[in-house]
Structure 1
Amino acid sequence: MRSQIQRQAAHALRCSRHIPAARLQSSTAPLQPSLRCAALRSISTTARLRTGEAPRPATDFGSLDVLGNTPAPSTSVDVCMHDGFGLNSNVTIRGGDGALLVSGEAFSWRPWAVRGDGQMTILNKKGQVEFSKEAFGVLDLLWPRPGTTPSPRPFLLARMQMQWLTEATDLLIIGVGKEIRPLSPDTSKMLASLGLRIDVMDTRNAAAQFNMLATERGVSDVAAALIPMGWKEGVGAALPEDHAKEQD
């Protein structure tokens, strides 16, 4: 028995001398980088659908519109016309007049008329849009002013009964016609003195911006001053039939 065991041990020793060294490495040796990367790429964290399970429906982004069910303000602009505007309240401003939308109220606006020279112009010699303070007389009556502490003002007590005079407007969106033009420094300074932030753009985008912000924040926080889309310097925006009506 002992001699048989010795022969088997000697045979195993002879066989081990012919085995390459790479095959004698421990099985706990780390994986090569390429094998490790291949192992990582094979891992998937995506849940598989079960047999017979219907695919998940796509996300309905329309349902994420939090303002979708919010009613539009009555002064929101439904259509920008060549010579005026159509509002959500079915009020139509025509005849080449602009629109001044303040605290839920709509006014026909003719900033060029207060110049007193009879010229149909809103641009200065530098091509900048320039309005006088009288063109924003309604905004000058807003009380309390944005950023100020209200204090008793007896001469405004009667006017304070009107809601649109007692709510502070924070942002004024100005639409300057079909093409965007800069405001003159004097106009910007004058509006800033009323405590208003200003956003100037073409009339179509200004109306869309006003609609969105008035729906989101309320009509008391944002106002709009819009020049008609068909405005031309020296001519205005009134159509020929509008001039005929004025002469009649």
Structure 2
Amino acid sequence: MPSLPTKTLHDTSRILARPPKSRDRGPKSTEDTQTDFGALDVLGNTPAPTTGIDACTPNGFSLNNGLKLSGSGVLLVGGEAFRWRPWVREGRKEGTVGEGRVGNEGEGGGTGRLKNPKGQWEVQKEAWGVFDLVWPKPDLLIIGTGPLVMPVSPTTRKHISDLGIRLEIQDTRNAAAQFNLLATERGVQQVAAALVPMGWKEGN
């Protein structure tokens, strides 16, 4: 086979090395089998849990089943919703929730607090009593610490861990959104939530 002149070889390599003028790979397909990934929703046919959080208010919560809780937090376990006030201490005020709502003002001894002296979020062991009763226990507990994310004390972490439950901490709004997603995806038996109202303010 006769060889091509050197000049021709160089010209051919320059042609092959040129980038394409367009990224268009051809005409748009008109087939009906095209998938619209933007409209794909894998949980579209899965009903949201009735104990999912519909709205977070400054002094409470609205649930998907129409229940409204005011002046307290909420504990969501095993498809049930419990009024939850972890800041209550014997002989103390409850603290402030929402727009100046104060509970048990007649009791003396100071206001309720969720922060320990080190500034960590800490809840007494008695506030988790429902987890001693439920079976099977949830795999994950999502804690909403109020308007801001707060570090959880080692004491509270250890108590939850000793129950065989993993812990995740967020501000209440994001914790509620995560509970809604995971409870829909994995079921209310696997995921629990303990949420403090968005309007919670520490006592002095």
**Bin for the TM-score computed over the shorter chain:** 0.7 to 0.9
Relative distance call for 1:31 and 1:209 in structure 2 (3 A) is same
The aligned residue for residue 26 of structure 2 is 48
Q: Say which of 49, 63, 79 aligns to 1:87.
A: 63
Which piece of structure 1 moves more, 38-47 or 204-213? 38-47
For residues 14 and 192 of structure 2, what CA distance do their matches in structure 1 show? 61
Q: Is the aligned partner of 1:138 residue 2:112?
A: no
Relative distance call for 1:68 and 1:26 in structure 2 (3 A) is same
SS at match of 1:166: coil
How far apart are residue 64 of structure 1 and its match? 1.6
SS at match of 1:120: coil
Q: Is the aligned partner of 1:105 residue 2:74?
A: no
Q: Is the aligned partner of 1:121 residue 2:95?
A: no
Alignment gaps of 5+ in structure 1: 1-24, 142-164, 236-248
| Number of equivalenced pairs | 183
How far apart are residue 54 of structure 1 and its match? 5.6
For residues 28 and 173 of structure 1, what CA distance do their matches in structure 2 show? 75
The aligned residue for residue 36 of structure 1 is 13
For residues 176 and 42 of structure 1, what CA distance do their matches in structure 2 show? 56
How far apart are residue 41 of structure 1 and its match? 3.4
Q: Is the 8 A contact 2:54 2:64 kept in 1?
A: yes
For residues 3 and 39 of structure 2, what CA distance do their matches in structure 1 show? 60
Higher Cα Rg: structure 1 or 2?
Answer: 1
Q: Is the 8 A contact 1:210 1:222 kept in 2?
A: yes
- Structure with the larger strand share: 2
| Aligned pairs for 1:1-248 within 5 A | 26-27=3-4, 31-32=9-10, 35-41=12-18, 47-49=25-27, 60-94=36-70, 96-113=71-88, 115-118=89-92, 119-141=111-133, 165-234=134-203
SS at match of 1:31: helix
Q: Is the 8 A contact 1:49 1:55 kept in 2?
A: no
Q: Is the 8 A contact 2:137 2:165 kept in 1?
A: no
The aligned residue for residue 107 of structure 2 is none
How far apart are residue 56 of structure 1 and its match? 9.1
| Percent identity between the two aligned chains | 52
Q: CA offsets, 1:205-241, max 9 Å, x none?
A: 0000000000000000000000000000018xxxxxx
Q: Give the aligned residue type for 1:60.
A: D
Q: CA offsets, 1:131-151, max 9 Å, x none?
A: 11100000122xxxxxxxxxx
Under a length normalisation based on structure 1, what TM-score does the superposition of the two structures give? 0.66
Under a length normalisation based on structure 2, what TM-score does the superposition of the two structures give? 0.80
